[in-house]
Amino acid sequence: MLIAGAGIVVAVAVAVLVIYMIMTPDQVEVRYGTIVRDPIDGHVWEDNTQTAWVDPGEAGNYKVEYIDQLSPEHEQQLAELQAQEAAEQEAVGESTGMEAIEAAVPSDLMQDLQTLESNIHTMGQDVISGLELANQIAETKSALISTYNQIAEFPVIPEAQHYKDQTLTALNKYIQACDIALEMIASGDFSRQLEAQALMDEATAILQSLIPSY
């Protein structure tokens, strides 16, 4: 009788399990919680995760969140690396080439440019002493070409390339204005005065816009 009773209990348990399996859809095992780890070597400091069986459609709601925590040794290594990178960045910032560009445009050349602009502005209005003025403009052009070549050879970081290009553009416009001025003096035809003046104005505006960057 006892054996028969035990058999009935087992049969009922199996039946209940079968009914549950039939009525419950397939489930998947998921893991969720947090893991504290060292992101450099993957060492796990704390594993606060657990598992559960859930419906497949709900599996996406369960995730493991990783929390980074460096070891003292790795914290020191990271601090040293950051300090090295900061020092390298500072060194690059101090050698962008902008100082060299600024130094390559001496004050006496700027004075010559002001004189050139004044001469071009008055061309055709006054009697021009051709030879003297031509020599003066030719000297200014020579200084401009020399400065242009020096700046063109200066290496700069990519961030400063725009300012270098703009400086070269301005100097090239000054050189073109000199060429036009010399042609006007040689021909006695000052009809291109406005063209030369426009080039001077454009070049001056470019340099003035770059002064804060220098």
Distances (CA, A) of 66 to 21, 39, 46: 35, 9, 10
Whole-angstrom distance, CA of residue 76 vs CA of residue 82: 10
Here the tokens at position 146 are: 């020399």
Residue 27 phi, psi dihedral angles, 5° rounding: -120, 160
pLDDT at 132: 75
Quick one: DSSP state of residue 149?
H
User: For the domain with range 96-210, which CATH number is right: 1.10.3470, 1.20.120, 1.10.238, 1.10.10?
Assistant: 1.20.120
pLDDT at 16: 46
Using alpha carbons, select from 197, 187, 178 the residue that is nearest to residue 135.
Answer: 178
Give the confidence band of 18 by pLDDT, cuts at 50, 70, 90. Answer: very low
- pTM confidence score: 0.50
Residues listed for the chain: 214
pLDDT at 88: 63
Give the confidence band of 102 by pLDDT, cuts at 50, 70, 90. Answer: low
Per the CB < 8 A criterion, the answer to whether 170 and 207 are in contact is yes
The residue among 10 and 188 whose pLDDT is bigger is 188
Structural domain spans, the chain: 27-94, 96-210
Span 24-46, pLDDT tens digits? 556 888 889 999 988 888 889 99
N- to C-terminal Cα separation, the chain: 105
Residue 91 phi, psi dihedral angles, 5° rounding: -65, -40
Distances (CA, A) of 9 to 6, 14, 23, 115, 118: 5, 9, 21, 115, 115
Span 163-173, pLDDT tens digits? 889 989 999 99
pLDDT at 55: 85
Residue type, 178: C
